Chains A and B, each alone.
Chain A
Amino acid sequence: MAEAAPRLPDCPRTRLLVALILAFAFASVRQITSLPLLAAFALAALVASGQPLAVVARLRAPAMLALAIALALALFSGSDTLWQAGPLHLRSDGVAAGALVALRLLAIVTLTLVLLGSLPPHKLAEALRSLWLPAILSDLVMLTLRYIDEMRARLARAEAARRLRGGGAGWRALPERAAVFATALIHGQHRADRVWAAMRLRHYGAARPATPPFGLHDLLWIGAALALAAALVWLDRAT
Chain B
Amino acid sequence: MHLPDGLVPVGMAAAGYAGSGALLALSMNRIARLPDPQAAMPRAAMMTAVFFAASAIVVPVPPTTVHLMLSGVMGVLLGWFAVPAILVGLFLQAVLFGHGGLTTIGLNGLIIAVPALVAFMVYRASAGRFPRLAAGVAGSGGVILSLAIFAAFVLLGLPAQMDASAERAALVVFVLAHMPLVVAEGIIVIVLLQILSRVEPGLLPRG
Give every chain A residue within 8 A of B67 (Cβ-Cβ): none
Is A116 touching B166 in the complex (CB atoms < 8 A)? no
Give every chain B residue within 8 A of A196 (Cβ-Cβ): 39, 41-43
Contact of A108 among B6, B44, B188 (CB under 8 A): B6
Contact of A137 among B54, B88, B97, B103 (CB under 8 A): B88
Q: Is B7 an interface residue (CB 8 A)?
A: yes
**Total residue contacts A-B, CB cutoff 8 A:** 219
Q: How far is the CA of A104 from the CA of B157 in the complex (A)?
A: 14
CB distance from B11 to the nearest CB of A (A): 9
Give every chain B residue within 8 A of A100 (Cβ-Cβ): 6
- Which of B112-120, B121-129, B189-197 is found at the contact surface with chain A? B189-197
Chain A 43-69: CB-based contact to B (< 8 A → 1; otherwise 0): 000000000000000110110011001
Give every chain A residue within 8 A of B59 (Cβ-Cβ): 171, 174
Chain A 87-119: CB-based contact to B (< 8 A → 1; otherwise 0): 000000110010011111111110011001101
Q: How far is the CA of A103 from the CA of B5 in the complex (A)?
A: 10
Contact of A181 among B54, B88, B91, B92 (CB under 8 A): B54
Q: Is B52 an interface residue (CB 8 A)?
A: yes
Closest A residue to B85 by beta carbon equals A140
Given A62-B4, A108-B101, A140-B84: A97 and B60 interface contact (C-beta under 8 Å) = no
Give every chain A residue within 8 A of B84 (Cβ-Cβ): 134, 136-137, 140
Is B99 touching A147 in the complex (CB atoms < 8 A)? no
Given A73-B159, A144-B49, A171-B184: A27 and B39 interface contact (C-beta under 8 Å) = no
Give every chain B residue within 8 A of A27 (Cβ-Cβ): 5-6, 10, 13, 103
User: How many residues of chain B get a CB closer than 8 Å to chain A's CBs?
Assistant: 66
Is A189 touching B101 in the complex (CB atoms < 8 A)? no
Q: How far is the CA of A143 from the CA of B41 in the complex (A)?
A: 9
Give every chain B residue within 8 A of A181 (Cβ-Cβ): 50, 54, 57, 188, 192
Contact of B46 among A19, A124, A152, A192 (CB under 8 A): A192
Chain B 36-74: CB-based contact to A (< 8 A → 1; otherwise 0): 011101111111111011101101100000000000000
Give every chain B residue within 8 A of A66 (Cβ-Cβ): 4
Give every chain A residue within 8 A of B162 (Cβ-Cβ): 73, 76-77, 97
Give every chain A residue within 8 A of B159 (Cβ-Cβ): 73, 77, 97, 101
Give every chain A residue within 8 A of B42 (Cβ-Cβ): 143, 192-193, 195-196, 199
The 4 A-B residue pairs whose C-beta atoms are closest, nearest first, are: A104-B6, A143-B45, A178-B191, A105-B6
Sample 16 A-B pairs with CB under 8 A, ordered by A number. Answer: A61-B97, A69-B7, A104-B6, A119-B95, A134-B24, A134-B28, A136-B31, A144-B48, A147-B49, A148-B53, A151-B46, A170-B60, A179-B195, A185-B77, A189-B202, A193-B43
